[in-house]
Chains A and B, each alone.
Chain A
Amino acid sequence: MASTIFRSFQTHPLLFHPTTLLRRKNVFLYCTLGSAQTQTATQEKVKPQVKVSHLTQNKTLENASKDYEAVIGIETHVQLSTLTKAFCSCPYNYGSQPNTSICPICMGLPGALPILNFKVIESAVKVGLALNCKLALNSKFDRKQYFYADLPKGYQISQFDVPIATGGYIDLDIPVEFGGGHRKFGITRVHMEEDAGKLIHSDDGSYAQESKSNFGFVDLNRAGVPLLEIVSEPDMRNGIEAAEYAAEIQRVVRYLGVSNGNMQEGSLRCDVNVSVRPIGQLQFGTKVEIKNLNSFSAVSRAIDYEISRQVLLHSQGQDKEIVQETRLWEEGAQKTVTMRKKEGLSDYRYFPEPDLPGVFLTQDYVHGIHKSLPELPEMKRRRYEKMGLSMQDILFLANDINVAEFFDTTITKGADAKLAANWIMSDIAAYMKNEELTINEVKLSPQELAELIASIKNGTISGKIGKQILFELLAKGGTVKGLIEEKDLVQIVDPVEIEKMVEKVLSENPKQLDQYRGGKTKLQGFFAGQIMKLSKGKANPGLLNKILLEKLNAKS
C-alpha cells in the first residue's frame, strides 16, 4: 500500500531487503502498531501496579539494595495534537491508512522546504510555563543528522543548544498506597522537534521478513508530526517515582490541551535512563536506557527490574557488566533485554537549520499565554487539599481534567465538596467503569449532581432514593426535580405520617414485637425495613428510626 501511494508521486516504492528488517527488528518494537484502541484518561491506569519480580524476592538482593541507590532520568516525547504537522499542512490522524497524509515536504522530496506551524511554538510555550521553565525568547531549530529508513530527509528538525524552555520543575503527590508524600522533580529542558515515520509490517501482522516478502514498508504519515521532548533531571530514585513523574507530565499536557497524552498510541513516549551507585558515592553509575515502555505500569516495573539487575551485578562485583546501552522492556517476559550497545557517543552533527528563521518570542506573547493557562494539576490538588479532601480523593479527582472540571462545576453549584467527591469517586466512577464511559459521556450533569446532593441534604429525598435517581440520571439524563416528581419520591418527613406507618407495622407484626420486647432488640432492623417498604423507601430514615424506637420502647 505504501508503494501505491508513492507511485502517485512518480517515485519508487520504498523497498529494501528483508534482512535489513531482520537486523533492525528491534526498532519495530518501539513503534507499536496494530488496532489501536482509543484510550481515555479514565481507562488508563495511572497508579502503577507493582509486581514484585523474582529478583527482588531474592533475599541477598534485598540486603544488597540497601547499599545502593538508583538514579533515574526520563526523556518524554509528547506528540502535539495540532491540526497539521510541524512543517507542512498535512493533517495527522492516528491509525489512518499508511501514506495517505503526506506531501513533498514531509516526504523530504528534493526542493521542498519546511514552514513552521506556529501552534507548535504556542504549545511549547504553554508546556514550558506549566513546567515552571525559563523560556528562551530567542531560540532556533537545528538539524540532527542520521540515516534511517523512517527519516526521509536524513535529518530531524529539532532543537539542540538553545531549547525553547529550560530549568523547570514539576510537583506531584505520590499516592498513599505507595507511601505518599510530595515530590518535586527537576526539568532540564523542553524542546520542539518533528517525529519520524514508521517502519511497518505487512497486512497479516507479521514482520515483512517473516512473511517472506521482499519488501519493507515505510509509513510516512507520522513523519513531521510535532513533538515536544521533555528531559527530566536525574531526580527519581525508583519505579514509582518515575511512573508518577510520567503520569504528571500526561496530566499537564492534557490539562493544557496540547496533546492527548495517550501512551498506547505513542502520543506520550517515555525513555528512561537508569543507573545505580553505592550509597554515598557522588559519581553516577553507568547509565542504561530503556525503551518500549507503553504504560506507566511498564515504566515502574521496567525500572524496578533494571535496578534489581544492576544492583545484583554490583553486589556480585560484576558492575563492569553494566554497559552503556539501550535495553528494551519485554512486557511478556517482564524483563529488559539488550537492544543495542552504544559504540561511543553518536555524533549527530547538529547545526542550525538554515531553512527556518530563528524563533523569536516577545515578553507580551509569553505573558498572554501565561494568563490563558488553565488551573494546572498541582494547583488543583493544593486547592482541593484546602477544601479538606483526603489525598486519595484529591488524586482521584485531579487525575483527569474532565473529572476535575465535573467536580469543580458541581461544587460551584453549591454542593458540599466532600459529598460531591464521594459521589464521584464511588457510584459515578463505578458506573463509568462498568459502562466504559468517560465523565463527559455520562448523561448526568454537574448541575444535577449538585441538586441531588442538596435534595438529600435538605431531606427532600433519602440517600437511598438519591442513589436510585443517580443511576437514572447517569443513564438517561433528566433532572433531579423531574424524577422526584415523576416518581413521587419526595421523602416523608411528616412525623405523624411516619408514626402511622410505624403503628401499622407494629400492629401487623405482634409476634416480632413480643420478641423484641423480650430482649431481641436486633429486630429493630426488621421493623425499620418493613416501614421503609411500606413508605416505598420514602420515609426519612432518621425520623423513622427515632419514632420506631420510641414506639418499641414506649410500651415495654
Chain B
Amino acid sequence: MLSTLQPPRSLSHLCNKPTTLFLRHTSLKPLSSLSSQPVTDSTLTGQSQSQILSTRDSLLSRQITAAQLAESFLTRLRRTEPHLRSFLHVSDTVLAQARELDEKIQRNEEVGPLAGVLVAVKDNICTAEMPSTAGSRVLEDYTPPYDATAVRKIKELGGIVVGKTNLDEFGMGGTTEGSAFQVTANPWDMTRVPGGSSGGSAAAVSARQSMVSLGSDTGGSVRQPASFCGVVGLKPTYGRVSRFGLMAYASSLDVIGCFGTSVADAGILLHAISGHDRLDATSSKREVPDLASQFVSISLLESKPLKGLKVGLIHETLDDGVDIGVTSAIRTAALHLEELGCSVTEVSLPSFSLGLPAYYVIASSESSSNLSRYDGLRYGNQVASDELNSQYMDSRAKGFGSEVKRRILTGTYALSAGYYDAYYKRAQQVRTIIRKSFKAALDEHDILISPAAPSAAYRIGEKKNDPLAMYAGDIMTVNVNLAGLPALVLPCGFVEGGSAGLPVGLQMIGAAFDEEKLLRVGHIFEQTLQNCRFVPPLIADEDAPF
C-alpha cells in the first residue's frame, strides 16, 4: 500500500477509504481479536491491537513466557539501536525481572495488569536503578535516589522498565537533536528526526523496541514525536498524572504522557499512572475513570458508532504554514469521522496564534527557575573553581547546551524587574484567554481536531540552527498545554518521504479530565482506519514482533 502512495492531495489515494469502510466490517476478525490476540500471530500488530492485553493473555495462557517476550524485544532493540539511538541507557535486569515474573506465573501467583509489559521511560523521569540525565551533561551519570511516581506505579503493576530514552535536553526542543549525548533517528527514515522532545520514547515504540513508553509533554513533546514516528501519543489533562519525579521544565505545563502502538495501550498505560499523588500538590484528586477496559472491539460496533459526536476542526490549524499533505490527511481523517457518525464542523479559535509567544514566555520563565538547582553543588557535574560564583557559572556553562541556555536567558529576561508585566504577566493573561476560548469551543463540541504538527518528520539538521523555525513547529500543540487539556495523537495517514512515506498524526483535543472520550473515539477511529499499517520499514520485514 505504502509503495503506491500518491500525491496526498487526492483523497482516494490516502490510506483511509471512508467509502469502503463499513463494507469491510463483516470481514473483520471476531470480537475476541482485541482482547486475546495471540502473540504467536505472525504478523506485526497493527494499530488496533493492544500489545498489553495480548501480552497478558499470552502469559496467563502460558503461550509464551515473559522471558521469551523480553528476549524478543531485546533482540530487536539490539538490532535496531545502532541505527536509531533511542536509548541513553538500557536496563540490564530486564531478563531477570521477566524470569521472576515467569516464576510467579508458574506458582499461579497473582500478577499485575502490566505484568511483562516492557516500558521505555524518557530520561527526564527519575528511576532509582538507572541513570536519569534529562539528556544533559549537567546530570551525566546521575542516578536519583527514588523512582518517579509514574515509574513506581508501573513497576507495582508488573511493568518492566527497559531503559531510558533520549530526549532534547530537559525536554527543550522538537527534534531530539538537543540531547547532549546522541541524536535519535526516525524509524521511518533514518535521515529524519523522530520529533521531540520525547523522540527516544516515540522511536522506541515505533520500532517496537518496547511495547509502550513514557514521555513528557510541555508544549507538544509527546504528541509531535508520536505524529513523526507513527505511534499513538497521549497527553493527559494537567494534574491527571503525578509529576513527582519528572524533572521540571515548565511546572505549570509539564505532564507525563504515554506512547503506544494502539490507543488501547496508551489508555491502559495512562490508567496505570493516573491519580492523585500526595507528593504532587498539583495532581488532581478527581476520581480516575476506568480508562483501561472500555475498548470495544470493532465487531461490536454499530454502523455509525460515533453518531451524534460533535467534532470541531480547528480552522486556524489548516492555515498557510501547514504542509499541504498534512492538511489533506487531516481533512481525510475528518471525513472518516463523519463516516463514523460524527458531525464535523470547522471552529475558529481566534486566540490560537497567541499560544506560541505566550508558551515561550511562560515555559522559558518557569524553566529559568526550575533549572537553577543544577548548580553542580549537590549532584551532577561540577566544575572546580576557587570561587562560588565562578563555580556556578562554569558548572552551568559547561553543563547546559545552547537551547537550554537560550531558554534560561529568555526566561530570566522575561521575569526581570521592569519586564515582568510586559512578558510574564501578559503571557498569563493570554493563557487565560486561550483557556476560555478552548472551554467555549469544547462546550460546543465533544472534541476538537487538528494536525499534531504542521509537517511530517523533517531531516536531521534541517532546523537545528533555526530555533524560530523549530519553535513555530509547536504551533499545533502548545495551546493545549496552556489550557491544560488532554489530547490524543494517533496516526491517520501518510505524506511522501522516506522509503515508505512518513506518518501524519491527527490530534484530538478533549475537555479537561475527559480522556475517556478521547480514548473511545481514538480507538474506534484507528480500528476503522483501512489499509494502514503504521509499522516503520526498519522492522516491517520482521516476523513476529514478539
Measuring CB to CB, which residues of chain A are less than 8 angstroms from any residue of chain B? 6, 8-12, 14-20, 23-24, 104, 107-116, 143, 145, 147-149, 152-155, 218, 345, 347, 349-351, 354-357
Contacts and interface: CB of A to CB of B under 8 A. Distances in A.
B245 A111 contact: yes
21 contacts: A9-B145, A12-B376, A12-B382, A14-B378, A15-B382, A19-B386, A20-B386, A24-B388, A110-B126, A111-B126, A111-B244, A111-B247, A112-B244, A145-B415, A147-B375, A149-B377, A154-B369, A154-B375, A349-B368, A355-B251, A356-B281
A155 B371 CA distance: 10
B380 A12 contact: yes
Contacts of B382: 12, 15
Contacts of B372: 145, 147, 153-155
A19 B145 CA distance: 31
B281 A17 contact: no
A19 B379 CA distance: 21
A12 B141 CA distance: 11
A98 B391 CA distance: 23
A155 B388 CA distance: 16
Contact of B391 (A10, A20, A153, A356): A20
B244 A110 contact: no
A452 to B, nearest CB: 54
B280 interface: yes
A154 B148 CA distance: 22
B366 interface: yes
B383 to A, nearest CB: 11
B391 A218 contact: no
B471 interface: no
B251 A115 contact: no
Contacts of A18: 386
B418 to A, nearest CB: 9
A6 B373 CA distance: 16
B391 A357 contact: no
A355 B282 contact: yes
A318 B451 CA distance: 70
A347 B419 CA distance: 11
Interface in B218-268: 243-248, 250-252
Contacts of B250: 354
B161 to A, nearest CB: 15
B210 to A, nearest CB: 21
B132 interface: yes
A23 B387 contact: yes
B80 interface: no
B487 to A, nearest CB: 20
A10 B392 contact: no
Interface in B423-462: 424
Contact of A16 (B134, B279, B366, B391): B391
Given A109-B144, A110-B139, A111-B148, A351 B388 contact: no
Contact of B420 (A109, A112, A218, A351): A351
A116 B417 contact: no
Contacts of B376: 12
B145 A109 contact: yes
B126 A19 contact: no
Given A17-B387, A113-B279, A10 B145 contact: yes
Contact of A110 (B144, B279, B384, B386): B144
A204 B248 CA distance: 40
Contact of A351 (B148, B279, B282, B365): B365
A480 B147 CA distance: 65
B209 interface: no
A118 B252 CA distance: 22
Interface string B394-420: 000000000000000000100111001
Contact of A349 (B148, B252, B380, B416): B416
A270 B540 CA distance: 71
A351 B244 CA distance: 21
Given A17-B385, A114-B281, A351 B424 contact: yes
A241 B413 CA distance: 42
A351 B415 contact: yes
A113 B387 contact: no
Contacts of B373: 108, 110, 152-154
Contacts, number: 143
Contacts of A115: 278-281
B143 interface: yes
Contact of B246 (A11, A109, A111, A350): A111
B388 A354 contact: no
Contacts of B387: 17, 19-20, 23
B131 to A, nearest CB: 10
Going nearest first, the 6 A-B pairs with the smallest beta carbon separation are A154-B372, A11-B379, A354-B251, A354-B252, A349-B415, A20-B388
Given A108-B378, A349-B415, A357 B369 contact: no
B181 interface: no
Contact of B282 (A345, A347, A357): A357
B218 to A, nearest CB: 12
A17 B384 contact: yes
B142 interface: yes
Nearest to B389: A147
A349 B417 CA distance: 7
A541 to B, nearest CB: 70
Contact of A355 (B143, B281, B368, B392): B281
A422 B368 CA distance: 63
Contact of B134 (A8, A110, A147, A155): A110
A85 to B, nearest CB: 14
Nearest to A87: B281
Given A11-B142, A155-B369, A155-B372, 15 more contacts: A10-B145, A12-B376, A17-B386, A23-B387, A108-B373, A108-B378, A110-B134, A111-B125, A115-B278, A115-B279, A149-B388, A152-B377, A153-B372, A354-B282, A355-B251
B392 A147 contact: yes
Nearest to B412: A349
Nearest to B381: A12
A153 B388 CA distance: 16
Given A115-B278, A147-B372, A347-B417, A6 B378 contact: yes
A110 B132 contact: yes
A8 B248 CA distance: 23
Contacts of A111: 125-126, 132, 144, 148, 243-248
Nearest to A19: B386
Contacts of A112: 244-245
B281 A113 contact: yes
B379 A12 contact: yes
- For B134, B243, B279, the residue with the greatest tally of chain A CB atoms inside 10 Å of its CB is B279
Nearest to B242: A113
A292 to B, nearest CB: 20
Contacts of B371: 154
Contacts of B380: 11-12
A265 to B, nearest CB: 25
Given A111-B245, A355-B281, A17 B391 contact: yes
A116 B388 CA distance: 31
Interface in B125-181: 125-126, 132, 134, 139, 142-146, 148
B415 A11 contact: no
Contacts of B374: 110
A202 B229 CA distance: 56
B143 A10 contact: yes
Contacts of B279: 113, 115
Contacts of A8: 145
A70 to B, nearest CB: 29
Contacts of B148: 111
B300 to A, nearest CB: 42
A108 B369 CA distance: 12
Given A113-B243, A153-B373, A355-B251, A12 B378 contact: yes
Contacts of B424: 351
B194 to A, nearest CB: 24
- For B132, B279, B377, B412, the residue with the greatest tally of chain A CB atoms inside 10 Å of its CB is B377
- For B246, B247, B281, the residue with the greatest tally of chain A CB atoms inside 10 Å of its CB is B281
